[in-house]
Amino acid sequence: MKTNDIMARLRAKYPGENEYLQAVQEVLESVEEVYNQHPEFEKAKIVERMVEPDRIFTFRVTWVDDRGEVQTNTGYRVQFNSAIGPYKGGLRFHRAVTPSMLKFLGFEQTFKNALTTLPMGGAKGGSDFDPVGKSNDEIMRFCQAFMLELWQCIGPDQDIPAGDVGVGGREIGYLYGMYKKLAREYNTGVLTGKGSTWGGSILRPEATGFGALYFTQNLLHKAGKDIKGCRVAVSGFGNVAWGACIKATELGAKVVAISGPDGVCEIPDGITKEMIDYMLIMRASNRNRVEDMADKFPGACKFTAGKKAWSVKCDVALPCAFQNELSEDDAKELKANGCWCCCEVSNMGCQPGAIHYFQHNGVLFAPGKAVNAGGVATSGLEMTQNASHISWSGAEVDAKLHFIMDSIHEQCVKYGTQPDGSIDYVKGANIAGFMKVATAMLEQGTV
């Protein structure tokens, strides 16, 4: 296989699907060499099959807002790959959601899920519904209307959605309530990220951020360093950023920045428990403003409009918000300010130029599909609990999550160690995930 040829075909076939094309290109570039050592993959056209989603559902979602006006959005579910298990992946509610965005996320999810060691295929879904400024009642009505269509596409052994940007515990609750009414079965295993009193895994809310810090700690230990005492810049203030702030602080690091679409909050003395708790209130308010943190804690937080977290001096950068949120210029600014490690927690948070810059300028870098896999891994643990009608304690889930993150790190080291001894975590994660999915596809024949 030649990455350039396949990319040229995909660009012609899917013009303008930039996020999808970017995600595919990154994986193909990483795996090309290994792939070409396996003529059986080439013969079975594994790559050509793997870059296409198995199917995409598109549906209209109509609901009524608080003023009594009828609103219409578009809903999607992209079932990308089921070679190693049922379709699994989150739902994103964001005004910019397009098929391209969900295809990139579903594609990434396929390899990420393979890395978790658990049997889960890849999927993603969501809607261009914009939660910003919406009331709680509007969120509920939208979730109910969305599920009226989605429920036909999903099932506990078929496709298991969860949260992503704009979808957290509240939304999963409303989605599940409607699913249960339509399906007339108490199938808790059909969604993950549920409330802890009705089948949700204790620690699922924290899992993405906790897992990211376990991975980061592994990476730093391998490089002879430790997160303790590091200044950490975090972008975003949602669920993932929240979990990362808790664990980073617990491990002795100082979180000196969080950010939002409106700007950055600099916190020179490090984020406190009160501030971390306030992130949850900010998220639930649907205001999408990080300035609210500075208003609440005026002495300790300094807000700057229009700036990113990457403008704040730090040792370790943790993008926790959105794809392509860290550009090559941001990478240069980080490096110039002394940053020496970036662990991508958001899906495809770094632009290709930023990754290239980090890798060629001595900044340790690891990609989202390895770093953030603790979220979906804990969803997998939630599915296991639901299927066997049991509940594990937080400590048990945390131990399993830690073990899984250690194993993901080991896979990256196994497949990413370069002849000079350095570790290319991008290659490592992509090759490890790819080999598992490709082997399963091959064994299951031409379907």
CA–centroid distance for 162 within its chain: 11
Two tokens at 191?
Answer: 């969604």
Site residues (CB under 6 A) for ligand 2IT? 88-90, 109, 112, 162, 164, 192, 347, 372, 375-376, 379
Q: Assign 3-class secondary structure to 295-361.
A: HHCCCCCEEEECCCHHHCCCCEEECCCCCCCECHHHHHHHHHCCCCEEECCCCCCECHHHHHHHHHC
Q: What's the rounded Cα separation, in Å, for the pair 437 and 421? A: 27
Task: Provide, rounded to whole angstroms, the least separation between the CB of residue 160 and ligand 2IT.
Answer: 7
Instruction: Tell me the closest approach of the beta carbon of residue 110 to ligand 2IT, in angstroms.
Output: 11
Ramachandran sector of residue 346 (left: φ over 0; alpha: ψ -120 to 50; beta: rest): beta
Judged by beta carbon, residue 188 or residue 192, the one nearer ligand 2IT is 192
What values do phi and psi take at 283, rounded to 5? Answer: -65, -45
User: Of the residues 124, 134, 369, 427, which is catalytic?
Assistant: 124
Least distance (Å) between residue 382 CB and ligand 2IT = 8
Strands 55-64 and 364-366: unpaired
Stretch (H or E) spanning 11: helix 3-13
Q: How many CB atoms lie within 10 A of CB 38?
A: 17
Q: Which is nearer to ligand 2IT, 31 or 376 (CB)?
A: 376
* Separation of first and last alpha carbons in the chain: 20
Element at 56 (helix H, strand E): strand 55-64
CB closer to ligand 2IT, 164 vs 315: 164
The nearest distance, CB 425 to ligand 2IT, in angstroms, is 17
64 vs 140, 144, 145, 186, CA distance in Å? 11, 11, 10, 28
Q: Which is nearer to ligand 2IT, 231 or 409 (CB)?
A: 409
Q: Which is nearer to ligand 2IT, 264 or 404 (CB)?
A: 404
**Residue 109 CB: number of other CB atoms within 10 A?**
28
Residue 124 annotated as catalytic: yes
What minimum distance in Å lies between the beta carbon of 375 and ligand 2IT? 4
The residue among 120 and 342 lying less far from ligand 2IT, judged by its C-beta, is 120
Per-residue buried b or exposed e for 349-367, using 16+ beta carbons within 10 Å of the residue's own CB: bbbeebbebbbeeebbbbb
Please give the structure tokens belonging to residue 167.
């979808």
Q: Closest CB to ligand 2IT among 112 and 194?
A: 112
Question: Among all residues, which ones are annotated catalytic?
Answer: 124
